[in-house]
Amino acid sequence: MTTTREAVPQGDRDADRDADRDRSTDLRVVTLDGVTRRFGETVALDDVSLEVRAGELVGLLGPNGAGKTTLISLVNGLRRPDSGTVRLFGGDPRDPSSRTRLGTTPQESGLPPTLRVGEVVDFVGRHFPDPIPTGELLEMFGIADLVRRQTGGLSGGQRRRLAVALSLAGRPDLVLLDEPTTGLDVDARHALWQALREYHARGGTIVLTSHYLEEVQALAERVVVVDHGRVLADDTLDAILGRVGLRRVTLRLPDDAAPAAWGPSVTQHHRTPDGTHELLTADADQLVRELVGAGLPFRDLTIQGATLEEAFLALTTTTRGTVA
């Protein structure tokens, strides 16, 4: 059985899509209200409330078992909450009509091994009224040269790039990406980042989870930190970094001048093989005064804000004892 679609001029399709996106800017794309989800005795999500608005790029961070993948599976309709409500574009995620504007890439995805890359993209694209042309989509992700390759012959990194590309095939308004760059080398990861930035710049909404904290720091405008099924922090990237209040101080000292112990303002110290001392401190000014007061012959002093990794560890470590 075959079906045909009435041809619609490209200009009309673009106008309709732009009108839909204009209307969506006033809507909450994703809403979780008091959501709890259990697996036996394990509480994966514990009374979580969260919303994502159109046009946001949200990084979802948390250690293994924090509840990130469970949250994604509720939003894309694969699971239902034990209590609370989940809404996708205002509707029930389990209703197929609510998912027509959604693209997603799970942590693991299967591809038909005998189909060619171009055939897979064509197949997925035909499920949508206005797909991105196959060549254009593959070019975005740097895999245009693989168009005639069978997916069974792709490397792990190539399969991953294709899986993420497929989530954008239908020009969705929202993309959910669960660990999108797992298995990619540095160059491939940066190519994928650029494709996501371009999609977001055109008005797309992205929610991604990642174990690569530098990935979230490179992409996200907003960061949600989850641990033990609860939201520990939800703010802009700059605010999350500023909340920790740590500063990274680097300097060089002669080997015979390094102190046996640093002052009380230093919370962490690491010496690199080239002799650089890396210090974490909550009060960089006090640390510099201590260095000058001790008469240490330091040089190449730099002071920077904490990294997202340091902020993440500080948030999860200080709150873990209070989270059930």
Is 53 in the same domain as 152? yes
Is 163 in the same domain as 31? yes
Tens digits of residue pLDDT in 181-230: 988 888 889 999 999 999 999 999 999 998 777 888 889 999 998 888 99
Is 16 in the same domain as 150? yes
Is 289 in the same domain as 161? no
Structural domain tally of the chain? 2
Domain boundary among 189, 209, 241: 241
Give the DSSP H or E segment for 42.
strand 42-53
Is 39 in the same domain as 54? yes
Q: Residue 95: which CATH number?
A: 3.40.50.300
Is the residue at 152 inside a domain?
yes
pLDDT exceeds 60 at position 322 = no
Is 112 in the same domain as 256? no
Tens digits of residue pLDDT in 237-246: 888 777 666 7
pLDDT at residue 15, rounded to an integer: 54
The phi-psi region of residue 179 (left if phi > 0; otherwise alpha if psi is between -120 and 50; otherwise beta) is: left
User: How far from 127 is each of 3, 132, 172, 258, CA to CA, in Å?
Assistant: 11, 12, 12, 65
Burial of 147 (0-12, 13-18, 19+ CB in 10 A): middle
pLDDT exceeds 90 at position 256 = no
d(CA 10, CA 53): 27
Is 214 in the same domain as 264? no
When pLDDT is cut at 50, 70 and 90, the band that residue 316 belongs to is: low
Choose among 278, 287, 275, 288: nearest CA to 310.
278
Is 205 in the same domain as 283? no
Is the residue at 316 inside a domain?
no
User: How far from 125 is each of 100, 162, 171, CA to CA, in Å?
Assistant: 12, 13, 9
For the record, the structure tokens of 212 come out as: 């690569």
Look up tokens 């992409």; give the residue: 219
Is the residue at 92 inside a domain?
yes
Is the residue at 315 inside a domain?
no
Is the residue at 96 inside a domain?
yes
Is 189 in the same domain as 144? yes
d(CA 105, CA 168): 9
Q: What is the largest CA-CA distance in the chain?
A: 84
pLDDT above 90 coverage of the chain, percent: 52
When pLDDT is cut at 50, 70 and 90, the band that residue 320 belongs to is: very low
Is the residue at 80 inside a domain?
yes
Q: What average pLDDT does the structure give for the chain? A: 85
Is 99 in the same domain as 205? yes
DSSP class of residue 150 equals B
Is the residue at 4 inside a domain?
no
Domain housing 39: 10-241
Is 147 in the same domain as 178? yes
Domain boundary among 187, 214, 241: 241
Is 199 in the same domain as 255? no
Helix (H, G, I), strand (E, B) or coil at 220: coil
pLDDT exceeds 90 at position 174 = yes
pLDDT exceeds 60 at position 20 = no
Is the residue at 310 inside a domain?
no
Give the DSSP H or E segment for 285.
helix 284-293
User: How far from 266 is each of 63, 182, 271, CA to CA, in Å?
Assistant: 26, 34, 13
